[in-house]
Structure 1
Amino acid sequence: MPTTTRRRVLQTAGLGGAMALAGCTVGSLTTEDVQTSPLALQTEEELDEAKPVDVDRIAADPRDIPAPITRSSPATVEVELETREVVAEVEPGVTFTYMTFDGQVPGPLVRTRVGDTVDLTIRNPEDSSMVHNVDFHAARGPGGGAEATNVAPGEEAHLRFKVTYPGAFIYHCAVANVDYHISSGMFGLILVEPEEGLPPVDHEFYLGQHELYTNGTTGQKGHHEFDFERMAMEDPTYVLMNGEKYAITPDNYAEMNVRTGETARIFYGVGGPNLFSSFHPIGSVWDEVWEQGALASEPMRYVQTTPVLPGSACVATMSFPVPGDFKLVDHALSRVARKGALAVVSAEGPENPDIFDPME
């Protein structure tokens, strides 16, 4: 067993703060605890220095969603996607070369209604190193459009398809080594509203979860390269919401903000490529959940934790009768405390002791 260094002790002890952030607690860690922990059994490769970043932020803004559809007849929805390979920070001091749609993770949310025609243009810049494409789970046709949208560097392709069934559906790159491309960030959601539309809410937010497999350990400074062997073992370095560790939280991008008494709808996609999410709101429940994003079905009510499979999605609503930070997590909690799977909705407003009284 490799010798436990002071640096590793401090790295492991620092996990206590992340666990507390998730609404849990851990006891104090001793050197003996660390030596017998799984983290101590990992050997750290020497990594290259962190690379200069191409973008300051890889995390998609969870508020950046097209407005609900109010029209009563089908239309043609023009969609443009650019496949971008960019260096960005997973967390401070840790860089990785992501593959993305439009330079963000997850890719842009595409909003349609049943009967619409999607008119897609996909472009791959000349400075890309790989061929890319896109497979829409909302499209009926070979490969969900993947075969028709293969684009080498410097090329563009076009595809038209009609959306004929409602729901929230994943789209993703589907070239050879599809798991590598999805893990590196190439997935997003296409929403197909039912003809009657969706019930009104005060806020809508968009999140996506995926795993990142690298040749480094979680939090190790430097530039992380993709690790195919680690992916084959389904042992991720990070499990991320919106592409960065703890991206959508008060300490990072504090963008999911509501008032007490308001409601929010969450569009949540899991790119994977391997792990399913046990999606749970700490301090609340999902008031409604359309599992698998199946908007043609009746929602489940007052659900504590809903499974979201890799390559699938859910649509969930929540309400905020009291103020505070409501943590959205994968309830496989080691992924929260140690690998980054956390987002936070912050509610401001008056206390409501009839509902919740901390007795301070």
Structure 2
Amino acid sequence: MKIFTRNALLAATSLLLTQQAWCASREDNAKAPIIGVEDAILTDAPAVPPAIHRDHATKVVVHLEVREVEGRLADGVRYTFWTFGGKTPGKFIRIREGDLVEMHLDNHPSSKMPHNIDLHAVNGPGGGAGASLTAPGHSSVFTFKALNPGLFVYHCATAPVAMHVANGMYGLILVEPREGLPKVDREFYVMQSDFYTKGANGEQGLQPFSMVKAIEERPDYVVFNGSVGSTVGDRALATNVGETVRLFVGDGGPNLTSSFHVIGQIFDTVWPEGNMSTPTQNVQTTMIPAGGSAIVQFKNSVPGTFIIVDHSLTRAFNRGALAQLKINGPDNKALFSGKVSDEVYMPEGSNARVAEMPSQKPAAAESKAERIKLGEGVFANNCQACHQGNGEGVADAFPPLAKSDYLNADKVRAIKTVTGGLDGKLTVNGHDFNGVMPAWDLPDEDIANVMTYIYSQWDNSGQEVLPSEVAANRVKAANLP
């Protein structure tokens, strides 16, 4: 005979109540009468349509226009995206269980390919793919009943399917439970995906899709919301201390599984795989399969800039799977003190660390303007994660590059710092830092380009750094003066 504690009984009762409130049967939803009609409110990431407050099922009309558009994949890197609604990821769709959805797929006349849509929220052959195959300049219509609540991926399923998905054809559809979701202060739409280009990561210009890399699962970019840096700086997710945040997170793939993590946050509640019946609590990192989703929820306790990553970390810091959540509000030292002391710790044998990178000869810049443009791409791929897109760095951790007295005072010293690394105490713009600047094993041309870019930004001196100057002043980490 099992003996349950009071807490165990309360937890079991809470789970049963949650399941009852959030799970109607397929049969009930199939029989739900349809009252009225409405046009779906669709949003682009990271925005989410408003919560549904009606207490009945209705007919929801959804119009998705397929467009093939050229856009930014990374700084200086262009790509031809195939989209549901003009952007990658596609529009966020929000409906209620029991609703009858009338799906209109409109393929713009400028498209070069036929397209369709497979909605994982559909109980029907191909998720609607066969019913929606649409040639350029045509429109297809089909309907489906939303029988299961949950957060579902949709994507193009026209052959070759991996190519259509890899080019940006995916999005999320939320089927709210009858009782609705618990009220929160902020909701955001975040979707990860992997891109495969014929050129290497950071290679400039319009890059075509590489089927060879896709088949071998060797992505050049792993990103949130369609491009490197799509959700950082001025485009970061903005919230306040004390607010509860809900993220609707999807993984479009086509290949990689996401280890979704917000650095410095613990998820109070996670609905794994987008389900509405079995939430888990106090989760650090949640796994999201390709073609899958998760709902994560947490309350903001302290202010700051929190980094969102795929915790397969080279994807975050080398391929682009990095976003920012900015929380505004007063400090709470009782919950998080910040740094309370700053002491040097130098065990025997330590010195500046070297960031190993493969050496490849970049294209030579023919002018200062071209050097700045090329340097912008080098900065985005190697420097932005620490020093931020606006050059302001991170307080008490990474010094600013903006208006930097350290950089502007001595160009040769700056070259030696980049090529040789630096550790120990450093004062920049009147503030002390005590960390490690890794030595970057980049070609002279790349270092000249990125330093010229930095000098041209954020009220710095505007001087140019030449590859010959880098070569003349390049040092090894151990010899850095």
The whole-number CA distance in structure 2 between the counterparts of 1:221 and 1:345 is 28
**Alignment of 1:332 onto 2:315:** no
2:327 corresponding residue in structure 1: 347
Is the CA contact (8 Å cut-off) linking 1:86 and 1:97 kept in structure 2? yes
Is the CA contact (8 Å cut-off) linking 1:118 and 1:160 kept in structure 2? yes
Is the CA contact (8 Å cut-off) linking 1:60 and 1:242 kept in structure 2? no
1:127 corresponding residue in structure 2: 110
Q: Secondary structure at the match of 1:75?
A: strand
Q: Describe the superposition over 1:34-68 as per-residue Cα deviations: whole angstroms up to 9, x where unpaired.
A: xxxxxxxxxxxxxxxxxxxxxxxxx94312x2110
| RMSD of equivalent CA atoms | 1.1
Q: Describe the superposition over 1:240-265 as per-residue Cα deviations: whole angstroms up to 9, x where unpaired.
A: 10001021011x523x1111000110
- Aligned match for 2:223, one of 233, 240, 259: 240
The whole-number CA distance in structure 2 between the counterparts of 1:112 and 1:318 is 23
Q: Secondary structure at the match of 1:220?
A: coil
Superposed counterparts of 1:65-214, under 5 Å = 65-214=48-197
Paired residue type of 1:332: S
**Alignment of 1:283 onto 2:283:** no
- 1:327 deviates by 1.3
Q: Percent identity?
A: 44
User: Structure 1 regions of 5+ residues with no counterpart?
Assistant: 1-58
- 1:73 deviates by 0.5
Q: Describe the superposition over 1:74-100 as per-residue Cα deviations: whole angstroms up to 9, x where unpaired.
A: 011110001110000112211010100
- 1:359 deviates by 3.5
Paired residue type of 1:281: V
1:61 corresponding residue in structure 2: 45
The whole-number CA distance in structure 1 between the counterparts of 2:106 and 2:44 is 19
Larger radius of gyration: 2
- 1:319 deviates by 1.4
| Change over 3 Å in CA distance of 1:171–1:147 after alignment to 2 | same
The whole-number CA distance in structure 1 between the counterparts of 2:338 and 2:110 is 56
| Change over 3 Å in CA distance of 1:225–1:182 after alignment to 2 | same
**Alignment of 1:215 onto 2:198:** yes
- Aligned match for 1:253, one of 196, 214, 235: 235
Q: Secondary structure at the match of 1:293?
A: coil
| Change over 3 Å in CA distance of 1:271–1:61 after alignment to 2 | closer
The whole-number CA distance in structure 2 between the counterparts of 1:342 and 1:117 is 37
Paired residue type of 2:101: V
The whole-number CA distance in structure 2 between the counterparts of 1:153 and 1:182 is 18
- Aligned match for 1:270, one of 239, 247, 251: 251
Which structure's relative contact order is higher, taking Cα pairs within 8 Å and 6+ residues apart? 1
Q: Secondary structure at the match of 1:165?
A: coil
- 1:356 deviates by 0.2
The whole-number CA distance in structure 1 between the counterparts of 2:49 and 2:207 is 34
The whole-number CA distance in structure 2 between the counterparts of 1:133 and 1:127 is 16
The whole-number CA distance in structure 2 between the counterparts of 1:90 and 1:333 is 19
1:310 corresponding residue in structure 2: 290
Q: Describe the superposition over 1:213-234 as per-residue Cα deviations: whole angstroms up to 9, x where unpaired.
A: 0111111111111000011110
The two structures have a TM-score, normalised by structure 1, of 0.81
The whole-number CA distance in structure 1 between the counterparts of 2:266 and 2:162 is 32
Superposed counterparts of 1:12-51, under 5 Å = none
Paired residue type of 1:122: L
The whole-number CA distance in structure 1 between the counterparts of 2:160 and 2:298 is 37
Is the CA contact (8 Å cut-off) linking 1:105 and 1:208 kept in structure 2? no
User: Structure 2 regions of 5+ residues with no counterpart?
Assistant: 1-42, 341-481
Bigger fraction of residues in helix:
2
The whole-number CA distance in structure 1 between the counterparts of 2:89 and 2:45 is 9
